[in-house]
Amino acid sequence: MRALPAPWILLLIASCTGTERTRDAKADPSRESERGLAAHIVDLSLSEGRAYELLRELVTQAPHRLSGSDGAARAVTWAQATMQRLGLANVRLHRCMVPRWERGAPEQVRVLKPAPAHALACLALGGSVGTPAAGVEGEIVVVRTSSQLEALGTAVRGKIVLFNRPMPRALRNTFAAYGASVPQRVSGASRAAKHGAIAALVRSMTTRIDDVPHTGGMRYAPDVPKIPALAVSTMAAEELAKMAKAGPTWVRVRASCRMLADVESSNVIGEIVGSEKPDEVVVIGGHLDCWDVGQGAHDDGSGSIECLEAARLLIAAGLRPKRTIRVVFFMNEENGLRGALAYAKDHANHKHVAAIESDRGGFEPKGFTSSARGDAFARYKAIVDDLRPFGMGVLIPGGGGADIGPLGLQGVPLFGLLPAWNRYFDYHHSKRDTIDAVHPRELALGAAAIAYLALRLANE
């Protein structure tokens, strides 16, 4: 780590309490320069940052970036040109084959009886098959758990199953609440089809009670029929459950979605080449694709842009790392993870020393998660602690994210940006995920946190 000019130390004084600063200086004078570096990066990001501007460019030019779509192709073109414009080196496209699913005409879930007939807010789940042109009709059967479905068995034959397990509100970590409920979205259709159901409806993955449906990925088991699978809003799920409890409730489901042949797409890669160990790499990245509703501003436009802006900040500050910092925009995280798997396979001979991912939204960062354990975790915790004066000094055990997960299987230490999580699932996979839901200062702080951690890992 190069010596810091005196003005950076003054920035540190302004950002820390006097007592804390004196104690740290006596314990370890080197901490002063590291915290001064952190202060400089944070100040630069807040005062001269371009993260929000870059995010606006991305979501304006390519708001719907589902893999294999025209929007995804526009995003790849934008990302490559932008990395070059911002001064990254070795900018390139890393080809991969990705699935192509199309939503088609607007979906319909319509209550037929009891009267009056009316439509419910819904979205087909990514990967779902469509229905015949006239749709499918059946009585609603409501379950909250897979064990309830198994107990019903063939009683659901010819019927439409509503999976109505809410995200548990009692869980403080909304990502844990998501994990407790999302299996019904991913595999519910096949579980219902195994017992003869003709369609599956799934309560949207959000803690809000509103009329905005949330889409997301689902998978079919290979040994059962494929039936249509749609998400309904939480209000619609509550309404259907209440009606079904009172008496027989019939609905019509109509969808024209379809899966097409795989197409070629790309991860987008750019670098700050290391000054001393250019062949050793710290990856920072997020996924460029998003669902075809909203703009994918939080998921994962924010994460990708935070990593791009982190690299731009380091270039602007003249901070060249000893190891190479590689920005990777992964393709197809949402419905296949093809970009991540291809990157890990094709770069297995590269020496990755660490990987950082941002895929939890562009909210106020609190710190990071890390896959490291023991002495390594303690060492990384000391690095992240330099961000504590700015409210970003937390390091907790955990994975880094889906896209860098394959690198973790190769033994690479993983880190994930950890923002405040309470509001993420208000927007996730819905029409609400637009740039106006992202706060510019929170986005700037996320970029600064990633820039600092990436630089320190590259200079270890």
One pLDDT digit (tens) per residue for the chain, 460 residues: 433 333 332 233 233 333 333 233 344 545 668 889 999 999 999 999 999 999 999 999 999 999 999 999 999 999 999 999 999 999 999 999 999 999 999 999 999 999 999 999 999 999 999 999 999 999 999 999 999 999 999 999 999 999 999 999 999 999 999 999 999 999 999 999 999 999 999 999 999 999 999 999 999 999 999 999 999 999 999 999 999 999 999 999 999 999 999 999 999 999 999 999 999 999 999 999 999 999 999 999 999 999 999 999 999 999 999 999 999 999 999 999 999 999 999 999 999 999 999 999 999 999 999 999 999 999 999 999 999 999 999 999 999 999 999 999 999 999 999 999 999 999 999 999 999 999 999 999 999 999 999 999 999 9
- Asked if 385 and 35 touch (Cβ cutoff 8 Å), the reply is no
User: What is the CATH number for 324?
Assistant: 3.40.630.10
Residue 334 lies in a domain: yes
- In this structure, the answer to whether residues 365 and 421 fall within a common structural domain is yes
Answer with the one of 256, 271, 304 that is the final residue of a domain.
256
**Degrees (nearest 5) of the Cα angle 393, 399, 402?**
120
Q: Are residues 109 and 251 in the same domain?
A: yes
Q: What one-letter code names the amino acid at 310?
A: A
* Same domain for 64 and 207: no
Query: In terms of domains, do 407 and 430 share one?
Result: yes
Same domain? 248 vs 280: no
1 in any annotated domain: no
Counted domains in the chain: 2
Domain containing residue 138: CATH number: 3.50.30.30
The phi, psi pair for 276, rounded to 5°, reads: -120, -35
Are residues 163 and 230 both part of a single domain? yes
CA distance readout (Å), 316 to 310, 319, 329, 418: 10, 8, 21, 25
Say if residue 313 is in the same domain as residue 243.
no
What pLDDT, on a 0 to 100 scale, did the predictor assign at position 285? 98
Annotated catalytic residue, options 107, 306, 309, 333 = 333
Examine the domain organization and report whether 197 and 325 are in the same domain: no
* Residue whose C-alpha is closest to residue 396's, from 168, 176, 170: 176
Q: Is the dihedral of CA 133, 138, 144, 147 positive or negative?
A: negative
Among 184, 176, 230, 186, smallest CA distance to 207 is for 176
Range of the domain at 203: 104-256
Q: Are residues 53 and 124 in the same domain?
A: no
The residue out of 229, 256, 283 marking a domain boundary is: 256
Q: Which of 209, 240, 256 is the last residue of a domain?
A: 256
Instruction: Examine residue 40 and state whether it is found in any structural domain, yes or no.
Output: yes
**CA 238 to CA 215: how far, in whole Å?**
17
How far apart (Å, rounded) are the C-alpha atoms in residues 159 and 174?
Answer: 32
Bin 378: left if φ > 0, else alpha if -120 < ψ < 50, else beta: alpha
Alpha-carbon gap, residue 409 to 398, rounded angstroms: 14
> pTM (2 decimals)?
0.92
State the helix-helix crossing angle for 440-459 and 30-48, rounded to 10 degrees. 140
127 and 152 housed in the same domain: yes
Q: Residue 333 catalytic?
A: yes
Report yes or no: 121 and 91 within 8 Å, Cβ to Cβ. Answer: no
